[in-house]
Amino acid sequence: MFYTLRQLTTPDFVLWGLVGLLALTVMIFLATLEGRHFRTLGLGAPWLRLRLASLPILAIALLAVYGTVAVFGDGPQALAVAYMALFSVGTIVYFGLHAIAGRIFGIRGGHASWIAFSGLVLIGVLPAIGGTLMPFVNLAAKIWKEGTVGGISSESSPFIASGKRVRLPDGEEVFALRYRAPEGVQLLRADMEGSGHRARDVLRMSTSTICRAGQDLALLWPAERPLPRLYVFWQTAEKRDRQSLIDIAPPADNAVTDFTATWTQQRVSFSATLPREALSLVWARSGSTPFVDSVPRTGPEAECVDALDLPARGELGHPQALRIRVDHALPKGPTWAETRRP
C-alpha cells in the first residue's frame, strides 16, 4: 500500500486527497449529528468516550480475525477462513467489547450496539465515496496528466538498446529487448504506438509485452509481429522532464538462442527478462486438469522479473511448470509456451 502511494503522480495524489478530505468531512458531519443526539439524552460524555474507544476496539477485532486465519487458514482455504472469521470472531469481539466498554462508561446495551454499528457506517463512508467518485477522478486525472505531458520538451533518447532473439519451448521466436537508462536518468512513463493506435501510460495497464526493471524498459515481442514505437518520458539528473521517441529495431545479432529455465525447489530463474504479467504457474493434479495461477503485479506498474519464488499450494506443493504468454495481433490472439520442472 505504501509503495502504491509513493508511485502516485501529482494529479492522482491531489484528486484522491480531495476525495479523502470530502469523505473525512462527511464522517465528521455524521459523527457530530450522532453526538448531538446523545447529548439530548444526557449521554454526551459517555458517547464521546465510547466513540473514541471504537478505533482500538476495531483494531483488536481485526487482530482476532488475523489470529484465527493464522491458526486455521492455510493454502486455498485461507480466504474462506478469513471470511468466516470476519463475520463470526470479528463480529463477536467488536460488538462484545463495545457492550463491555459501554457498561463501563454508563451506556445501556442498545445504545452501545448502535454506537458500534454506526462506527462501521462511518468507516464505510470512505470506500463508498471513493468507489462512487472513482470514474470521475480517473477521468480528471487522465485529462490533467495528458495536458501536462504534452508540453514536455523532446530530446534524443538516452536509453541504450540491447536484446536477443529467443526461441521459446513451443518453438515460437520472440524478441527480448531491453532499453537501459544511464546513470541519473529516471523513467517516468512510456506510451506505445502500433497499428495506428497509441496506448498511453502503458506500464500502468495490464500488459504482458512491456515492463519496467528499475529505470529500464524491457519488451517481450513476437518476432513475426511488426515492432511498435515507444514514447518515453524521463527525467534528467538535474530533475528536468524530457520525452523521446524510440523506433524499436530488431537485435543487431539475429542469432536465435533457446529459452532456458533453471529450477530449484522454491525458485525458478530464466535466461531472459520477462514481464511478470506474462507468467503463470502450473500445479499438476492427479486425475484432473492442472491448476494454473497467474503471477500478478506487486505494484502499480508492470514489473520485469528474471526469477520467481515458487509458492507452495497446500497438498499440491510447489508448481511443476511455468507458462509464458505471448501476445499476437488479432485474429491470432495470445499463445502460451510452457517450460516444465525437470
- Assess contact for 60 and 93: CB atoms under 8 A: yes
Q: Give every CB contact of residue 60 below 8 A, 6+ residues apart in sequence.
A: 93, 97
User: Which residue, chain included where needed, has cell 470479528?
Assistant: 90
Other CB atoms within 10 A of residue 293 CB: 12
pLDDT at residue 76 in the model: 60
- Assess contact for 251 and 244: CB atoms under 8 A: no
pLDDT at residue 177 in the model: 95
3-class state of residue 309 by DSSP: strand
pLDDT at residue 3 in the model: 54
- Assess contact for 71 and 85: CB atoms under 8 A: no
pLDDT at residue 301 in the model: 86
Element of type H or E holding 60: helix 44-72
pLDDT at residue 6 in the model: 60
pLDDT tens series, the chain, 342 aa:
565 566 566 778 888 899 999 999 999 999 999 999 999 999 999 999 999 999 999 999 999 998 888 887 666 677 788 888 888 999 999 999 999 999 999 988 789 999 999 999 999 999 999 999 988 988 888 777 766 666 788 899 999 999 999 999 999 999 999 999 999 999 999 999 987 788 888 998 888 999 999 999 999 999 999 999 999 999 998 988 899 999 999 998 889 999 999 999 899 999 999 999 999 999 998 888 999 999 877 888 889 999 999 998 888 889 999 999 999 888 888 999 999 998
> Of the candidates 156, 157, 137, 153, which has an alpha carbon nearest to the alpha carbon of residue 145?
137
Task: Please state whether beta strands 153-154 and 241-247 pair in parallel, antiparallel, or not at all (unpaired).
Answer: parallel
What letter does residue 303 receive in the DSSP assignment? B
Which amino acid belongs to residue 172?
A: E
Please spell the DSSP secondary structure of 94-125, one letter per residue: HHHHHHHHHHHHT--HHHHHHHHHHHHHHHHH
What sign does the dihedral 84-87-89-90 (CA atoms) show? positive
Rounded to 10 degrees, what is the CA torsion of 43, 49, 54, 60?
A: -130
